[in-house]
Amino acid sequence: MAAWLQRLSTLRLTHDEQGTARGLMLHMSELERDAYLKDPPEVAEAAIRGLLREAVVTIPGVDFSEVFSSNLLQPALDAPPALADLPRFLAAPPVAQVPVSAGSSSAASPRIAQRFATASGRLARAVGYSLSAPLIFGAGKLWSLIAENTVVVTLLMELDAVLPASERIGLVAERDQGGPTSLMTVTSAGGRSLRPNGVLRDSAGLRMLAKWENGATKMHEAASDLYAKSAAWTPLYYGDIEYLPCFAAAGSQLQFFAIPRGGSRMQAPRPISPVLQLTFESDRAQAVLTTIKFYQLLRAQCTRYPNYVLMADRELRARHPNGFIRSLLFRTDEVAVRKRVAPWEEYVAWSGVEFAELQKLYDATKRSQGLVHALAGMPTLTDDRYSVDLIPLGRQPGYARPVTEDDARDMVHGLLHGLAAIHKAGFVHRDLRLDNTACSPNGRRWFLLDLETCAPAAQRPRDGFEPRGWPPGGLLVDGLYTCASDLFQLGRMVSEQCGSLVLSAEGKTFLNALQTTAAAQKLSAEQLLAHEWLQCQGETCRAAGAQPGER
């Protein structure tokens, strides 16, 4: 082995860095190699890494896309730039030259052209496509869609895909496919879609990292849609990010934006790049450079999202064995979740729940705490499709499990308030399990979900209606599902989730009372709320989540 290769192999470089450095140094003179390798190891390692960041290497048969992409995104950001610094951050070129396939070079200005270097491999081809694939511009939004997909979205996805696995976001691009017959459409009073044209998420699908809109010809209209479709702000969607990165395409124009967070509403989008005219080669090349920096920004944004964020604008669908589909959409134009069930007749045949009864229940409980409320009046039923917008949103129980006796008290206290309201209206819940609960963002105030399983009290369940988690015995009273049946279900759930946390004598007495079988239960939800362990304040109590009007 040559002395310089031996020396190189002793340095603390990654396998890819070693391979790229060997390829480069094979073409150097002995004097040039010595300039990098004669220094102490830590100095030599830094010098070689600097060389790799700046160089675009082409060796026949070798794809250096992984190295190129990693170099382009240096230095890794500890945190996203402040909102005021974003224009400066995006305008600064990547620290390394951008590889581009031969024949894709543009007639950009020398200042921009020097940021690119001819290379081969997957990333170079993706950059070449983004830089020089033919674009046709017309009067409709379709042409804007083709332009943003060609220049921005495709490059973002390829850049993510070629990175080392440990450095990837796992980027997922989603487009609004909802037409007028979709199960989950959200429209304005004028019939305009209020779902984003596209969103970018991480690999888990939870975090909405960015979004985009397409306009037919006018950028201000596309920017206006950015705001209208993301007007609602909640940490349950966005954690503590300072802004939501965005871009918009309108005809031949492309521009990057940031939507600053507000209180319960977002602020108007702020431009963080100039308007780029994609018919101008220099502007299109600048769009490619900005897209690379935009990806670097998205990587930094990932660190600002907690694990419990909800899937903003992701439609969640579940098909029941009886044929109906239940669908949820966490809306971004409102802090609300849209729930739909279709075909409704098949749901009724399984559950025995009548639409008019649900309307009565939502109306009767609209001023109660401890359970979700309809956002605007009542549920609707149109063309055999049930729909309701629900408030408030809450943390999923998996991210808010009780860890102390006080936490357990808060949980059962809030859920009992919800049950008491349902029972007072003459209904029972019938599906009390952890998945049908949520709590406030601070993790203390709990409330009930899924009122669509509620039915009038003391009725015989329909044959085949047995929600997941129903116990084999102790639930029904002479074949009827009663208010005591709900209490028994709640007692089992609380005992499973946090029974071991309750150590006080009062707490154990309460749980024993709550776990009484339905046939033997003599107490109501209202009476259990008066138990000394809960410390309920009666009519002035605000311990539960989902206070009337809470968003």
Tell me the pLDDT tens digit for each residue of 512-537: 999 999 999 999 999 999 999 999 99
pLDDT in the model for residue 190: 52
Residue pLDDT, tens place only, 491-509: 999 999 999 999 999 999 9
Instruction: For the chain, give every domain's residue range.
Output: 1-56, 61-303, 359-530
Q: What is the mean pLDDT of residues 93-111?
A: 79
CATH superfamily assigned to domain 359-530: Transferase(Phosphotransferase) domain 1 (1.10.510.10)
pLDDT score of 178 more than 80: no
- pLDDT-derived band at 466 (thresholds 50, 70, 90) equals confident
| Cβ–Cβ < 8 Å for 280, 259 | no
For the chain, give the percent of residues with pLDDT over 70.
93
| Cβ–Cβ < 8 Å for 110, 47 | no
Q: What is the mean pLDDT of residues 316-320?
A: 93
- pLDDT-derived band at 64 (thresholds 50, 70, 90) equals confident
The overall average pLDDT reported for the chain is 88
pLDDT score of 215 more than 80: yes
CA–CA gap between residue 444 and residue 450 (Å, rounded): 20
Core vs surface per residue 517-535: b (16+ CB within 10 A) or e:
bbeebeebbeebbebebbe
pLDDT score of 546 more than 50: yes
265 versus 414: the higher-pLDDT residue is 414
- pLDDT-derived band at 58 (thresholds 50, 70, 90) equals low
Beta strands in 346-472 (DSSP E): 373-374, 380-382, 385-391, 427-428, 437-439, 446-448, 455-456
**Maximum Cα–Cα distance for the chain, whole Å?**
95
CA–CA gap between residue 421 and residue 427 (Å, rounded): 9
Q: What is the mean pLDDT of residues 296-302?
A: 94
pLDDT in the model for residue 105: 57
CA–CA gap between residue 437 and residue 395 (Å, rounded): 9
Q: What is the mean pLDDT of residues 228-244?
A: 86
pLDDT score of 480 more than 50: yes
Q: What is the mean pLDDT of residues 308-329?
A: 92
Angle, CA 40 vertex, CA 37 and CA 45 arms, to 5°: 60
In this structure, what token pair is assigned to residue 287? Answer: 């769009």
pLDDT in the model for residue 27: 64
Residue pLDDT, tens place only, 330-378: 998 888 999 999 999 999 999 999 999 999 999 999 999 999 999 987 8
Which residues are bridge partners to 350 per DSSP? none
